[in-house]
Structure 1
Amino acid sequence: MSLYDLILTEKGFMQQNELSYPFEERGLQFGDGVYEVIRIYQGNYHLLNEHVDRLFRSAEAIKIEVPFSKTEMHEYLSELLEKNSVAKDAKLYLQLTRGSAPRSHEFPLNVSSNLYAYVKDFERDLESMREGVATVTLEDIRWEWCYIKSLNLLPNVLAKQHAKEHGAKEAILYKEGMVTEGSSSNIYLVRDGKVYTHPATKRILGGCVRMKIQELCKEKEIPFIEEAFQVEDISYADEMFATSTTAEILPILKVDTVSVGDGEPGKITRELQRLYEKDAHIPSGASIFSKEQA
């Protein structure tokens, strides 16, 4: 994935090799910050409003001041694409920390926050979206404020690595037998034509794609039920899928040793994939269904 040269910082635009912070930086030493990953399709942001709103919610939750207003953030992020002449599928990573100061647990006084955002080319994982993926279950050991998109991702990293070591794409996390979400995704179970997923409480990160899925279900009169389900319910699922900004909508075909439904991507999952591609203005030639239509 190629990295575009120009990045956005709290001080404005600069070349990536010009970015430098002191080693006593609170994001580095404490994970004292928040972040966002925003999908870009053919040079255009998708769900930008939702991501910017969530960034500000996360920053407010841990008392970090964002150096720009929401309007300015929109303008700067759009300008970042223009200045880099971004025309391909890509992703933007944005990180905001409390700033640079001598290491001490309490908040530093009179220190401004650090922000940087950069763009990298990022192709869609069409094979996984077409064919579906295997997953594993793992106990959710994260903190209780998962609704904040914070930099403290070590449990998520360990869960994702556990999945990789067991030949799976994602780890499905659970607390007291109840599925919360994935290591980097929201998780859904389909039963009798209804979509079930954990309610958007502090126990999960309310995904921007999750919000879009809820909207699409409403449009198509597919019952979207914010109700947690148990790991044992997976045996009775007709379909399952996962969503995230970079993965979009992934059919889940296997959880641990259990095959989901008939072991193929389900009807509702496919319908939501079609609707999502339409909403994101994916060209027909780049669709996950183009192979089927050929």
Structure 2
Amino acid sequence: MQTLQAYIHDCLQPYNQATLHISDLSIQRGYGIFDFFKVQQGQPMFLDDYLKRFYESARQMELPVPLDTTELKEVIRQLIQANQLPLSGIKMILTGGYSESGYDIGKPNLIITEQPLTLPDQTIVTNGLKVITHSHVRELPEVKTINYTMGIRLLSNIKAAGAADMLYQQNGIVSEFPRCNFFIVTRDDVVVTPDKNVLSGITRKNVLQLARQKYKTEERAVTIADIAQAKEAFLTSTTKRILPIVQVDDLVIGNGKPGEITNELLADLIALEQTQL
């Protein structure tokens, strides 16, 4: 990390020297937004979609972004050029700014970091994941805030259950994971994803578009009962792409193995990523 560059305070500087003052509202109150995208062979993946979501999150949180889209793209280009990483993730954070009161919004601080990225091991794709559920709905789920309190607090529960992640649900209706979207495939090959109380994931969007080319798709309420009847289930995210889910709590999905449609959509997504290079 010592050789990597980060963007903060309007310039690139060494990552290990990039700091914020303790008065920043992200520290005082956990107030801020972020977004994250993948970079392969020096090319940001689906950058326009991620920037659109970043600016919309900032708007909803009343945080003016100090750079316009063109300027932000140029900073990202410079960061990628400076770090020369073959596979990486770039995180853009917009904080609540330095606040004299520790409560009022100040001038937002824009931070952009780039770190090496490792994609999921093939063993996970082959075997699938077990996940567990928890009763919770994120505050402002359509906004990508820096508030991950519940997800982090539940890490010990996930580990104790021998699971890979925690799927949020409320009154039997599931929504999302702390960092991923959720899909099922019904017995008649309909690809379904929850439509409420979820972040509009970019990978979620791409998977829906790919699935529509071959299957019927639905964005609607998904219940625990739907999961019990599902033939397949999987999660999607920027860093995980598509990972099959073979168990939710005590419910074994389908035959307990990753499904054909899940694997097919993963191959399609990888092919779509290649068109960005």
**TM-score, structure 2 as length reference:** 0.93
The AA in structure 1 aligned to 2:70 is T
**Distance of aligned partners of 1:10 and 1:69 in 2 relative to their CA distance in 1, 3 Å threshold:** farther
For 2:43 and 2:226, the matched residues in 1 are separated by: 39
Q: Report the secondary structure of 1:38's partner residue.
A: strand
For 1:129 and 1:44, the matched residues in 2 are separated by: 25
The answer to whether the Cα contact below 8 Å between 2:137 and 2:175 also exists between their aligned partners in 1 is no
For 2:48 and 2:70, the matched residues in 1 are separated by: 10
- Counting only pairs closer than 5 Å after superposition, residues 106-117 of structure 1 correspond to structure 2 as 106-107=104-105, 111-117=106-112
Gaps of 5+ in 1: 283-294
The AA in structure 1 aligned to 2:200 is G
Cα deviation for residue 243 of structure 1 reads: 0.5
The answer to whether the Cα contact below 8 Å between 1:10 and 1:67 also exists between their aligned partners in 2 is no
The count of aligned residue pairs is 273
Gaps of 5+ in 2: none
**Distance of aligned partners of 1:216 and 1:181 in 2 relative to their CA distance in 1, 3 Å threshold:** same
- Counting only pairs closer than 5 Å after superposition, residues 255-274 of structure 1 correspond to structure 2 as 255-274=248-267
Cα deviation for residue 112 of structure 1 reads: 2.0
For 1:3 and 1:279, the matched residues in 2 are separated by: 34
The answer to whether the Cα contact below 8 Å between 2:190 and 2:216 also exists between their aligned partners in 1 is yes
Of residues 194, 204, 208, the one that matches 1:210 is: 204
Q: Which runs of 4+ in 1 moved over 4 A?
A: none
The answer to whether the Cα contact below 8 Å between 1:38 and 1:46 also exists between their aligned partners in 2 is yes
For 1:129 and 1:94, the matched residues in 2 are separated by: 28
**Counterpart position of 2:180:** 185
The AA in structure 2 aligned to 1:14 is Q
Deviations along 1:184-236, one digit per CA (max 9) or x if unpaired, are 1100110011011111x4x1111110011111112x23111001111122111
Cα deviation for residue 272 of structure 1 reads: 0.5
**Counterpart position of 1:103:** 101
Identify the range of structure 1 (171-180 vs 125-134) with the bigger mean alpha-carbon deviation. Answer: 125-134
Identify the range of structure 1 (52-61 vs 70-79) with the bigger mean alpha-carbon deviation. Answer: 70-79
**Counterpart position of 1:90:** 88
**Distance of aligned partners of 1:266 and 1:204 in 2 relative to their CA distance in 1, 3 Å threshold:** same
**TM-score, structure 1 as length reference:** 0.88
Q: Percent identity?
A: 25
The answer to whether the Cα contact below 8 Å between 1:4 and 1:119 also exists between their aligned partners in 2 is no
Of residues 232, 251, 254, the one that matches 2:247 is: 254
- Counting only pairs closer than 5 Å after superposition, residues 54-73 of structure 1 correspond to structure 2 as 54-73=53-72
Cα deviation for residue 4 of structure 1 reads: 5.1
**Distance of aligned partners of 1:104 and 1:28 in 2 relative to their CA distance in 1, 3 Å threshold:** closer
Q: Report the secondary structure of 2:152's partner residue.
A: helix
